[in-house]
Amino acid sequence: MEKQTTHFGYEEVPVEEKAGRVEKVFDSVAQRYDVMNDLMSMGIHRLWKRITLERSGVRRGQTVLDIAGGTGDLTEKFVQRVGPQGRVVLADINASMLQVGRDRLLDRGVGARVEVVQADAQALPFPDNTFDCITIAFGLRNVTDKDAALASMARVLKPGGRLLVLEFSKPRNPVFEKVYDQYSFHVLPRIGRWVANDADSYRYLAESIRMHPDQQTLQAMMENAGLERVEYTNLTGGVVALHRGFKF
């Protein structure tokens, strides 16, 4: 039987190896993750997440699952939105990222109101029809089987619930895309080496962005997972796209 492979950045690796390799990347960058995000995006990632929060439509008393929530920046905002009667779950497959997120939320005074769960997006450990809203920000591209993850998310959404996927995508302007490529493959790894002492992890992150499905492909994948009214909004010229779909 032919061995199944998948992409780890530009490298072709056995399917069973990818999760372990991704885990090593995030173990390495966890402590400096927020600082690196600010440097790499020049702070614009905060605007992207604020738009995601607004488009989520989350209201008081609702249930929210923040997948690949890592350091908990979106989770913290959802806690404020749902109020004391709501429920917010921070989930991530990586224990190092979860530890950083848990500590940060405790420092901000909201840790007691957040459930922290180490979970694989491909097989979420929640009953069907549990959440009003699910978000995954900059995490889907690291998942081995994206179709399985999207189907798992759709399963645990309540009828009427919505999934928001915030992820790097394909710039719309060819000239801008070339500039962006130069930045991603030459500047970004250097920042990673200077700030986090880890150029290789940030080179992988740049490659993983290029291997991620483009806007239309991801839209179709969400529809195939059973979501409806799927739409996307390009942010910063398509460097990032916010996809949203509903379960009916």
The enclosing domain of 237 has a CATH number of 3.40.50.150
The reply to whether 10 falls in a domain is no
CA separation for the pair 102, 113 (Å, rounded): 11
Mean pLDDT of 94-112: 92
**Is 30 annotated as belonging to a binding site?**
no
Mean pLDDT of 129-152: 96
**Is 38 annotated as belonging to a binding site?**
no
* pLDDT for residue 109 is more than 50: yes
**Is 121 annotated as belonging to a binding site?**
yes
CA separation for the pair 127, 231 (Å, rounded): 26
Q: Is there a contact between 37 and 43 (Cβ–Cβ < 8 Å)?
A: no
State the maximum Cα–Cα separation within the chain, in Å, rounded to a whole number: 53
**Is 71 annotated as belonging to a binding site?**
yes
pTM above 0.75, yes or no: yes
Query: pLDDT averaged over the chain?
Result: 89
The reply to whether 200 falls in a domain is no
The reply to whether 24 falls in a domain is no
* pLDDT for residue 35 is more than 90: no
Domain count, the chain: 1
CA separation for the pair 103, 243 (Å, rounded): 29
